[in-house]
Amino acid sequence: MALSAQEVERLAKLARIDLTPEELERLAPQLDLIISSVATVSEVAGEDVGVTTHAVELSNVFRDDVVGSSLSSEAALSGAPVAEDGRFRVPRILGEES
């Protein structure tokens, strides 16, 4: 079943998309191809095919949280261009008021 330009126009109106007559004629065969491709995939994917969200199995690798040594405030701020009150001083952005 090929989509007609009139059917594409109806879909465009439902989606509130303004299309020119040339766009309707060009999009009709493209949308028809998409619909037939989805139908083909639907035929292949039977009930024995499980739902997949990724092509390969994904798993998170977790490690135990272990308290370790870290930089002191002075060491962390030693490379900062400007520090103030034990914090990095950065320029104000977006007109924020302090």
Interval 38-50: pLDDT, tens: 888 877 767 777 7
Separation CA 28–CA 43 (nearest Å) = 23
pLDDT per position as a tens digit, 14-26:
999 999 999 999 9
Could you tell me the residue range of the domain that residue 10 belongs to? 5-44
Residue 27 falls within a domain, yes or no? yes
Q: pTM for the whole thing? A: 0.44
Report d(CA 6, CA 64) in Å as an integer.
61
Residue 18 lies in a domain: yes
Look up residue 16 and give its amino acid: R
Question: Is 31 within the bounds of a domain?
Answer: yes
Q: Are 2 and 32 in contact (CB under 8 A)?
A: yes
Q: What is the CATH number of the domain that holds 33?
A: 1.10.20
Over 70: is that where the pLDDT of 95 sits? no
3-state secondary structure 40-55: HHHHHCCCCCCCCCCC
Total number of domains in the chain: 1
The pLDDT value given to residue 17: 94
Q: Assess whether pLDDT exceeds 80 at residue 97.
A: no
Residue 94 lies in a domain: no
